[in-house]
Structure 1
């Protein structure tokens, strides 16, 4: 048992070749429930992550990212305002107002459209028996799902994905030097959202996502302000594109390495929901969740000083043999909750939509893409922080 922070193993998560799935991380997890990193403390085991991720003595930690990078401008201003980085009563108010827009009933309405979209994309390459999976499926699928959510023109998807990718550079190590491009993309994204809201208001409010948020903007004294309305929509676009694209790609990579599980899913599409949960357990796009201690935190005999960044290593925690008798990939087993959508007050508000669109995609892909394998070596983002595939040249048995 580690007796102090200084005695804990050290993981240099800044190294270009650092991997959350490395033996180094597994060894550190066996030695201690936490490790030291250049950014603070990393929690490695399932039980400790499950406890601390809900602990009120910690707050959402990502709010400090712009300051860490000496960055300013429209992206930084938006990042500090959004619900993700608000706490207490203000966070509760925003979440309560936004909840109806993200309710499960919306997924039920959109499910046939998710299926139609997935089939349309697969139709373009099914007979060829090959595709560049990111470019031809996961990226357009994730972005066009957002277009469905916004009730926007499906042809806008390439414009939106470009803006989201430029904004996403703010979460990388080059944020400070790229901030002019990042801020320009953010301004354009807000302009796009203003047009979407204007169009919906002109047509009249229905039961859709944007209409629900507009109603929250008109809900009385505690209503969403006009700025908060656009902040919420930009967050839905930015988060929905990046995470869904990456998670579907990581799912395909996992199944390529487990062909028996892919064949099983193709035969039993009712396992698609469980498959999404299992993918997010073993290969999440969000490999850690960030918190910050609000005060000196005494936990298991260790004192973590106030103001310390605490990364909850969800990737390591969800393969912890203390919590999973068989931590390998198996879509037929009932599992403990994963942390891919977070837990506690900051649990991802869009998880119903993400689960719904990924479930429909995985079921149809497994049915129509038999025996997938790589034609050439795929390329991935670094295996830490937010990760995902850059290119995935996949071949499979052509559809007759």
Structure 2
């Protein structure tokens, strides 16, 4: 295919089209084949899709800053209206953690790393397993369920809700709050929709504010307590606005992405019954299976960066101030890195080199927990259910419209309880 053919092919797609968002891989192929870096005509965003380019951007936070308004998809006017609305009624979307650069990022990362330790995740493992089996108890006897709403959403949602001080039966409230936090970065809204969504996030903010104040006085061992008390004697504690910002990022990164990965994990097992049989026969394959799931259908398809100077990447000049989208989902299907990238293979030798969790200083803080929840979630299903199959073909588009993530709408299955 010539460069002109690839460019013509690219013009057939839009990353704002729900069908393309649901199945973006043909567009990613066109990006890989076209010269330079693709610039979205609808927004002016530069989309980085090749593995080598993506890694270069992720490792150069000085040139590609993480300080990007999470509402930039809404345009400057509505983004400003949202900022004012949040500041007047709650706490503004200030830059912390993922949305900061050195040296500020180091302060936030050090505090959060004390919460998300390997040891802490290990301590949580029995409870995650117990939660997974309790959820399966709720539908095993029926012989069918919607896997997304009854399991993939509830497993990480229950764990996170409990860590936020919500009873486990209030996961629906938690999901409503989580969706509201992610919405400004996920799809375009008009002013009325944007502010209505902000009201839901403000509800979450005021709940969290009460909890943070309570836990500062009486820590209970949950994440809220750990964040509220994470500073040492010579460190400033996080302000309420900082706590709100950090928590919204942990919720966004720790909920939807894990829910999405668990759903994709079962979908790929259904699509590849031979690999399901291999995993049932040898549980030690689970680690590489999880990595291939995350590579193949990266839960977070992309995140934003901002160019701090004029910079050339793959022959394209990206002007200072431009929004750059690091498209993990595209890089993880790059044939220059992964042989037969559109083939799902849980034995793939380099599956773990995917960039779905990022790279460098901003490598995902919750990666250990996410991997554990996915592995536990999948193994519990294989332990408890047999003869798993789809009830009916999935309706297109199979994913909910979203600019940055790849969430399945549903996964209706039937099975036989073991």
**TM-score under structure 1 length normalisation:** 0.89
The C-alpha deviation readout for 1:327-348, integer Å capped at 9, x for no partner, is 3212223215212222223222
Q: Which runs of 5+ in 2 are unaligned?
A: none
The C-alpha deviation readout for 1:146-171, integer Å capped at 9, x for no partner, is 03434642223222112222333323
How far apart in 1 are the matches of 2:34 and 2:254? 37
Give 2:207's aligned residue: 192
How far apart in 2 are the matches of 1:128 and 1:269? 26
2:169 is aligned, of 126, 136, 155, to: 155
Change (3 A) 1:104 1:151: farther
Residue 339, structure 1, aligned to residue 355, structure 2:
yes
Residue 119, structure 1, aligned to residue 114, structure 2:
no
Change (3 A) 1:325 1:243: closer
Provide the aligned C-alpha RMSD in A: 2.8
Q: How does 1:234-383 map to 2 (within 5 A)?
A: 234-327=248-341, 328-335=343-350, 336-378=352-394, 379-382=398-401
Q: 1:152 touches 1:196 (CA, 8 Å); kept in 2?
A: no
Give 2:46's aligned residue: 41
Residue 181, structure 1, aligned to residue 196, structure 2:
yes
How far apart in 2 are the matches of 1:79 and 1:342? 22
How far apart in 2 are the matches of 1:62 and 1:369? 44
Q: Which runs of 5+ in 1 are unaligned?
A: none
Which deviates more, 211-220 or 366-375? 211-220
Give 1:17's aligned residue: 19
1:32 is aligned, of 29, 32, 35, to: 35
Shift of 1:318: 1.2
Which deviates more, 333-342 or 280-289? 333-342
Residue 74, structure 1, aligned to residue 86, structure 2:
yes
Shift of 1:360: 0.9
State the number of aligned residues: 396
Shift of 1:285: 1.8
Shift of 1:275: 1.8
Shift of 1:86: 2.0
**TM-score under structure 2 length normalisation:** 0.85
Give 1:142's aligned residue: 156
Change (3 A) 1:214 1:80: closer
Q: 2:164 touches 2:208 (CA, 8 Å); kept in 1?
A: no
Change (3 A) 1:285 1:154: same
How far apart in 2 are the matches of 1:311 and 1:223? 32
Q: 1:283 touches 1:315 (CA, 8 Å); kept in 2?
A: yes
